[in-house]
Amino acid sequence: MRRQIWPYRRPSAETLSADTWQLIIDEGPTDLPASLPHWDYRTNLSLSRQITIDMDLLRSEVRLPSDAKVQVAVIWTASGSNLRQSAGAVAIHREGRQKADLEVQLPGELLGGTVTLRTLLTVADPGTVEDPLAPRLSGSILWSDEHKVRLQGDAPQFPIAIVDFSRTTFPDNASWHLELGTQLESATMGTLLLYINERSKPTVQAFQRAAAPRAVDKVILDAVYADVARLMVEAALHHPDFTDESAFDEDSLGETFQNLIHSLFPGRTVADLRQLREHSPHRLSTQIQAAVGVFQES
């Protein structure tokens, strides 16, 4: 196991305590889960967390002078969009036990895939450092941890657009439409687009409440995801270059197809499913419905 050697003193575990990340929803805060299976690109992530620091012990252990300042910062990265940004920082410069209340909001349109939240305690201003083992540079990391959350769980990742179908070529009274590309090497985010008809108020409201759906929202989301899963599985099996041995880049359409099929049909081969599609497409559709678990109790 590789061990990082730091060129300055770092605090012990007793110096700091970190609460779990909280997801802020209409009903109030709740522990941030490992995945958000009904998240969509129109949903921002509102998060909060509290970090408690014993500043007296920190200064003693790290040998920081009394005029030094530290801060707690949050940086997020999203594998789906390949973006990395700061979510803000809280400065701490007083003595005794201090609390840093972190409140961040991550814009949904910039996210996708797995979001990694990295919380860091860093030196904001080293002050008049005299000890040779004390951190001497602003930005020196004293402590950090990470929390990962998978957006949409094992479901496919793609953006969602709410539009008036009367202004498109889609039927006016349809509730949704999946636009699906054909290039397996293309990025999923640029290849898939789920259109929601803004005239279908129940469907729009279901996706707006996707982070914490009501019972009626869950029914609608299940129906949409079952339909989307069916279209994506059929598209994958229709593509001659899609096989069990195919290797695709991370977050590509081909990888998304593979992840979806492995999730829905663990242990079954693409060749087996392709044969089922050719000889009994209606049975394949029913098996996809069962695998998705549409309208089943969670």
Q: How confident is the model at residue 155 (pLDDT cuts 50, 70, 90)?
A: very low
Check whether 154 has a pLDDT greater than 50: no
Q: For residues 145-149, give the mean pLDDT.
A: 94
Q: How confident is the model at residue 139 (pLDDT cuts 50, 70, 90)?
A: very high
- Architecture of the domain whose range is 13-151: Sandwich (2.60)
Check whether 216 has a pLDDT greater than 50: yes
Q: Which of 180, 228, 221, 184 is nearest to 204 (CA)?
A: 221
For 23-59, how does the pLDDT look when each residue is reduced to its tens digit (9 = 90+)? 998 778 889 988 887 676 667 899 999 999 999 999 9
> Pick the residue with more confidence: 208 or 179?
179
Burial of residue 197 (CB within 10 Å: 0-12, 13-18, 19+) is buried
pTM higher than 0.75 for the full model?
A: no
Q: How confident is the model at residue 164 (pLDDT cuts 50, 70, 90)?
A: very high
Check whether 80 has a pLDDT greater than 80: no
Pick the range with the lowest mean pLDDT from 112-121, 147-156, 185-194: 147-156
Q: For residues 232-257, give the mean pLDDT.
A: 90
Q: What three-state secondary structure class fits 134?
A: coil
> Pick the residue with more confidence: 290 or 210?
290
Check whether 76 has a pLDDT greater than 60: yes
Averaged pLDDT score across all residues of the chain: 87
| Element (DSSP H or E) covering residue 208 | helix 201-208
CA distance 122 to 71: 6
Looking at residue 158, what is its pLDDT?
61
Pick the range with the lowest mean pLDDT from 95-104, 225-234, 248-257: 248-257
> Pick the residue with more confidence: 210 or 271?
271
Q: Which of 169, 148, 89 is nearest to 124 (CA)?
A: 89
User: Which amino acid appears at position 174 of this protein?
Assistant: A
User: Which amino acid appears at position 3 of this protein?
Assistant: R
Query: Across the chain, which distance is largest between two alpha carbons, in Å?
Result: 78
Give the ranges where 66-214 is alpha helix by DSSP (H). 188-191, 201-208
Ordered by start, the domain boundaries in the chain are: 13-151, 160-292
Check whether 204 has a pLDDT greater than 80: yes
% pLDDT > 90, the chain: 54
Cβ atoms 285, 273 nearer than 8 A: no
For 3-23, how does the pLDDT look when each residue is reduced to its tens digit (9 = 90+)? 677 888 999 999 999 999 999
Q: For residues 291-295, give the mean pLDDT.
A: 83
Check whether 270 has a pLDDT greater than 90: yes
Looking at residue 42, what is its pLDDT?
65
Q: How confident is the model at residue 99 (pLDDT cuts 50, 70, 90)?
A: very high
Looking at residue 153, what is its pLDDT?
46
